[in-house]
A = this chain, B = another copy of it.
Amino acid sequence: MELLKKRIQKDGIVKEGDILKVDSFLNHQIDVELMDAMADEYIKRFDTSKITKVLTIETSGIAVAYSVARKLKVPFVFAKKTESVNLEGDVYSTKVVSYTHFREYDVIVSRKFLDSKDHVLVIDDFLANGCALRGLLSICMQAGASVEGIGVTIEKTFQRGGDDVREAGYHLESLAKIKSIDSKSNKIVFDN
């Protein structure tokens, strides 16, 4: 998606350790018009006719999920990250390792909000090694929900997450695929 790639090129900041910061429009300050344009793009790329629910994970997925759910006129659910082992109530849960924060946490979704009748569009902001995404897919599996598609804003194709998910047979669409980033020159090279 050209608009997004231009924005990443203009405002993205590369940090050591292959970190790409897009705080000015996606992860801290949110450009709502861009989110709306991204939602239109997802809707073009997926068959959305059966979708009953959009699923994302807090925090940075929420804005994108909102814009997509709004256009599809369905609710969205954000999975919650929790470090407590005492999971409250009746939830689907899975363990996720955060690459950025070097820690493990539980991801939970209440059973009330996802079940086997749901057709889900999974939305997340970043896909690198795919840990968070696999967590969301595990939750859909536990619920018996059908995953109709996975929409990611930025995929780092130099990490394995995206390929793994495609090989597992999912329809994954990434709006910007990044082949390489370099913190010294702040150079960002796209793959698509």
Contacts and interface: CB of A to CB of B under 8 A. Distances in A.
A152 interface: no
Q: What 10 pairs across the A-B complex have the smallest Cβ distances?
A: A29-B113, A32-B70, A62-B62, A58-B59, A29-B77, A66-B66, A32-B69, A59-B59, A29-B75, A30-B76
Interface string A51-67: 00000001100110011
A75 B35 CA distance: 11
A104 to B, nearest CB: 15
Nearest to A81: B59
Contacts of A40: none
A192 B29 CA distance: 33
A25 B110 CA distance: 13
A16 interface: no
Given A58-B58, A59-B59, A70-B36, A78 B110 contact: no
A112 interface: yes
Contacts of A77: 28-30
Contacts of A29: 75-77, 110, 112-113
Nearest to A33: B73
A31 B69 CA distance: 9
Nearest to A34: B75
B66 A30 contact: yes
A95 interface: no
A45 interface: no
A112 to B, nearest CB: 7
Contacts of A28: 77-78, 80, 109-110, 113
